[in-house]
């Protein structure tokens, strides 16, 4: 059983890609929306939440876990790998494909404060973005929009434009979606940027990596699709978002 967790519904944007290549697996999803957003929380707090959620998912039968949250991956995945005897798959900031794709030589990165200040992101940027200019912005208010189901419309456009416009104004033609909530706002972000901008979502690469790790560990069972949804707070947005995906 594949366990997936996030601070909210964002991880469903990763599940969507996983399901395309692993359609017959059993899934359990945990939205930690009672403690959302993670973006501004301390590393210790996120590690504590990640530990609690991991224990729960394993108690329900998960034998591999996707940390479908960039912020939680940056803060907690190394601790989880030390403390639990199962494989963990995390989110990678997609700076490398973005640096290869840009024609203007300017890459925008949208992510949470926690992700942007994490060593994992800073190391990735130093390794892959030496020949391009990186401009970063916190997706201020994006997670709240998605958690409230407001992914299109005037409010979504106004909120997203505050963080996205500075990237476009700086010349970015390629924007990394460095938080798993943000792909749900892709249409709105493209409305703000114009269609000449390419958005890069790491989820398809993460799904591919999961498939490889499951194959190596003999975890592919294809015993029929199922999904068990859990949330620490109100489950309405989780159910609605999931029903719109499937």
**Residues labelled as active-site residues:** 69, 179
Of the candidates 31, 180, 193, 231, which one interacts with ligand DGL according to CB under 6 A? 180
- 167 to each of 30, 141, 162, 172, 220, how far by Cα in Å? 32, 16, 10, 6, 41
**Part in contact with ligand DGL (CB under 6 A); list of ranges 35-43, 53-61, 79-87, 160-168:** 35-43
Give the CA dihedral 228, 35, 40, 146, nearest 10 degrees: 50
CB of 29 or CB of 38, closer to ligand DGL: 38
Contact 229, 239 (CB under 8 A): yes
Q: Is 173 in the site for ligand DGL (CB under 6 A)?
A: no
Q: Is 202 in the site for ligand DGL (CB under 6 A)?
A: no
Of the candidates 38, 121, 128, 242, which one interacts with ligand DGL according to CB under 6 A? 38
DSSP state of 11: T
Angle between helices 236-245 and 12-21 (to 10 degrees): 30
CB of 37 or CB of 97, closer to ligand DGL: 37
Q: Which of residues 40-69 bind ligand DGL (CB under 6 A)?
A: 69
**Part in contact with ligand DGL (CB under 6 A); list of ranges 5-13, 128-136, 157-165, 223-231:** 5-13
Looking from the CA of 92 toward its CB, the CA atoms found within 13 Å total: 19
Q: Per-residue x/- marks for ligand DGL, 89-128, CB under 6 A?
A: -----------------------x--x-------------
Q: Is 143 in the site for ligand DGL (CB under 6 A)?
A: yes
Q: Is 39 in the site for ligand DGL (CB under 6 A)?
A: yes
CA 196 to the chain's CA centroid: 23
Of the candidates 31, 54, 70, 160, which one interacts with ligand DGL according to CB under 6 A? 70
d(CA 85, CA 61): 13
Q: Is 31 in the site for ligand DGL (CB under 6 A)?
A: no
Cis peptide before 37 (omega within 30 of 0): yes
Helices (H), 84-229: 95-101, 113-116, 119-128, 142-147, 154-169, 186-193, 203-216
**Part in contact with ligand DGL (CB under 6 A); list of ranges 6-14, 126-134, 195-203, 233-241:** 6-14
Q: Is 36 in the site for ligand DGL (CB under 6 A)?
A: yes
Strands 133-138 and 64-67: unpaired
Binding site for ligand DGL (CB under 6 A): 6-7, 10, 36-39, 69-71, 112, 115, 143, 179-181
């Amino acid at each position: 059983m594949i366990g997936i967790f996030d601070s909210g519904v964002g991880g469903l944007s990763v599940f969507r890609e996983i399901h395309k290549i692993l359609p017959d697996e059993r899934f359990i999803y945990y939205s930690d929306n009672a403690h959302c957003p993670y973006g501004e929380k301390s590393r210790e707090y996120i590690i504590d939440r990640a530990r609690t959620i991991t224990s729960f998912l394993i108690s329900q039968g998960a034998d591999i876990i996707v940390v479908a949250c960039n912020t939680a991956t940056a803060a907690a995945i190394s601790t989880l790998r030390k403390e639990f005897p199962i494989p963990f798959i995390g989110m990678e900031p997609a700076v490398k494909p973005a640096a290869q794709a840009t024609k203007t030589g300017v890459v925008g990165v949208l992510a949470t404060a926690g992700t942007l200040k994490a060593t994992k992101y800073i190391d990735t940027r130093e390794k892959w973005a030496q020949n391009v200019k990186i401009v970063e912005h916190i997706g201020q208010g994006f997670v709240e929009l998605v958690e409230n189901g407001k992914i299109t419309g005037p409010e979504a456009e106004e909120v997203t434009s505050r963080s996205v416009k500075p990237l476009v104004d700086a010349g970015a033609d390629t924007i990394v979606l460095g938080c798993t909530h943000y792909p749900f706002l892709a249409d709105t972000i493209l409305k703000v940027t114009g269609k000449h901008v390419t958005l890069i979502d790491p989820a398809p690469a993460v799904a591919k990596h999961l498939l490889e790790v499951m194959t190596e560990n003999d975890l592919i069972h294809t015993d029929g699709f199922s999904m068990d949804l859990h949330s620490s707070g109100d489950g309405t947005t989780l159910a609605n978002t999931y029903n719109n995906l499937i």
